[in-house]
Amino acid sequence: MGLLDYFRGPGGARKGSASVAKERLQILVAHDRAARDRPSYLPRLQQEILAVIRKYVEVDNDAVSVHYEQEDKYEILELNIVLPDADARS
Amino acid sequence: MARTIVITSGKGGVGKTTTSAAMAMGLAQRGHRTVVIDFDVGLRNLDLIMGCERRVVYDFANVINGEANLNQALIRDKRCEHLFILPASQTRDKDALTQEGVGQVLEELRKTHDYIVCDSPAGIEHGALMAMYFADDAVVVTNPEVSSVRDSDRMLGILSSKSRRALENEEPIREFLLLSRYSPERVASGEMLGVEDVQEILALNLLSVIPESKAVLNASNAGTPVILDVESDAGQAYSDMVARYLGEERPMRFLEMERKGLFSRLFRG
């Protein structure tokens, strides 16, 4: 610590790049961990469900979303399918 | 019952081999029969850090392929009679380490030794997976730096999904954190992640904090595990590591800045 740091005061220390590093890491690691625990079949499942729906309804590529969550004792597989507006359907 | 310890990190250059050498020497100095194995096929360096590079005749791959027996390949350390080194092959490719072969060698070593320290190569390729596959304990070597912390977390994921203990539904590997190249001054000035920051993210049992130290380069220059430099900060931090691994309680050291005189505090930029 140099002479100038004494005038900047203790608040200055927390503003260092380390706090940015920590924030970025927390987000990144949470994201990595979520991806790690997800079953590897999810992307394929999403594609196949989309293909089945498309046999009957014309929907966008991003109309099917799959969310996976894990709690202590159970897992939640959430499927969300956005159908087009009624007047767009034939 | 013998324990197999993997020293791992994902990222390169964080201090795996330095840690492997120090930990193996520390365990052996306490009278435990210890082997330290280099898993870095093609880029062997443990022999250099241990100072036995000129005594290598046979290596790990020779033993796996039946070209030499284990006793021919093991190098007894000249400073500590309880310590042996099993060097990696410098010439073969990484597939020389088959899972079956590695398993057989470790099984044989477990009969005659108390601790088997596996020095993992960097990355998540075959050699690194083989080093961790049979582990009972893992020491994740991390620097207080974003890419190292992220890679360490990735290694934890692999340990808990691809190791033998995970795949055979046994009690999970005991995982420990070793924070190395720590600079208390830079932590205090807010430019380096502190030990609590890293702990908050990785949530592991902390074995020791190794300060950034000249002693580490001096030790590797000389081929002496840094733990033998008992006067040095890094050497003492590694002694603490071994003690804590064996269950002793020791307060963490080297987390605070050295107390400096007023003169240097005012004028060091």
Centroid of chain to Cα B97? 19
Nearest C-alpha in B relative to A26: B201
Q: What share of chain B is helix, strand, coil (3-state, %, to 5)?
A: 45, 15, 40
C-alpha separations of B179 from B12, B193, B206 in Å: 14, 11, 8
Cβ–Cβ gap A13/B188 under 8 Å: yes
- Whether residue B132 contacts residue B138, with contact meaning beta carbons closer than 8 Å, is answered with yes
Task: Report percent pLDDT > 70 for chain B.
Answer: 96
A24 touches chain B (CB under 8 A): yes
- The complex's ipTM works out to 0.82
User: At A46, is the pLDDT very low, low, confident or very high (cuts 50, 70, 90)?
Assistant: confident
User: At A59, is the pLDDT very low, low, confident or very high (cuts 50, 70, 90)?
Assistant: confident
The pLDDT of residue B145 is 95
Amino acid letter, A62: D
Average pLDDT over residues A19-45: 88
Nearest-Cα distance to chain B for A82, in Å, is: 34
pTM for this model (two decimals): 0.83
The answer, yes or no, to whether residue A2 has pLDDT greater than 80, is no
- Residue B182: both structure tokens together: 């720590």
Cβ–Cβ gap A17/B188 under 8 Å: no
The pLDDT of residue B259 is 66
The answer, yes or no, to whether residue A89 has pLDDT greater than 80, is no
- pLDDT tens for residues B100-150? 999 999 999 999 999 999 999 999 999 999 999 999 999 999 999 999 999
- Whether residue B181 contacts residue B144, with contact meaning beta carbons closer than 8 Å, is answered with yes
For β-strands B115-119 and B205-211, DSSP reports them as unpaired
Q: What is the number of other CB atoms lying within 10 angstroms of the CB of residue A21?
A: 18
B149 touches chain A (CB under 8 A): yes
Nearest-Cα distance to chain A for B181, in Å, is: 15
Residue with tokens 């620097």: B143
